[in-house]
């Protein structure tokens, strides 16, 4: 069941859901808007021209109040907000319609597991043939929250738990089952 504005307010008031900083004005009918932080990571092109996913990707780290995303380019960013989900709530990070209509795609990995705590890292792609400027504290995405049928037995405790600022890919740390 997707949480309504009333449900979101209730979870926050009961301190079951924590969003810091919290702006009640950002609550929509079935989501809450999140804002853009000031930390960005640009992937570096590997010397070989090919990045194996089995090794760590290197990034240029940028702190800025405004950031220009070049045409047809990808960058990692973060939300200002630090969220803490209870074991019976999951989240979906979605781009805001107005942002998408400007040609900026927000995330391609927008699932947030029950029990997650941290800032949300956003995968941004400028699909335009021209650069786009984004500003810190701008409403950039929305978090849709849903209640699971039962609480998760094992809350999220993965490699991104507790992340602060933008966090690069840690796919190289994946352990495949044998």
Active site residues: 123
| 3 burial level (CB within 10 Å; 0-12, 13-18, 19+) | buried
Instruction: Identify the DSSP state of 173.
Output: G
Is 149 annotated as belonging to a binding site?
no
- Per the CB < 8 A criterion, the answer to whether 145 and 83 are in contact is no
Is 121 annotated as belonging to a binding site?
yes
Is 65 annotated as belonging to a binding site?
no
Is 100 annotated as belonging to a binding site?
yes
Is 166 annotated as belonging to a binding site?
no
Cα separation, 162 vs 2, in Å, equals: 24
Q: Which residues have CB under 8 Å from 59's CB, separation 6+?
A: 41, 42, 43, 44, 76, 168
Is 147 annotated as belonging to a binding site?
no
Is 113 annotated as belonging to a binding site?
yes
Binding residues for dCTP: 96-101, 113, 121-123, 142, 156, 159, 163
Binding residues: 96-101, 113, 121-123, 142, 156, 159, 163
């Amino acid at each position: 069941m997707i949480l309504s504005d009333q449900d979101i307010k209730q979870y926050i008031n009961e301190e079951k859901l924590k969003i810091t900083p919290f702006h009640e004005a950002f609550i929509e009918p079935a989501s809450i808007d999140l804002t853009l932080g000031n930390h960005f990571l640009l992937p570096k092109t590997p010397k070989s021209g090919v990045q194996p996913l089995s090794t760590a990707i290197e990034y240029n780290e940028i702190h800025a109040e405004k950031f220009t995303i070049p045409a047809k380019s990808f960058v990692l960013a973060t939300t200002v907000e630090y969220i803490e989900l209870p074991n019976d709530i999951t989240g979906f990070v979605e781009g805001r319609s107005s942002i998408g209509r400007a040609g900026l795609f927000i995330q391609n990995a927008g699932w947030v597991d029950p029990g997650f705590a941290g800032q949300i890292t956003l995968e941004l792609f400028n699909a335009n043939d021209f650069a786009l400027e984004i500003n810190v504290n701008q409403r950039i995405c929305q978090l849709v929250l849903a209640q699971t049928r039962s609480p998760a037995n094992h809350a999220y405790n993965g490699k991104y738990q507790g992340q602060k600022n933008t966090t690069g890919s840690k796919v190289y740390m994946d352990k495949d089952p044998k």
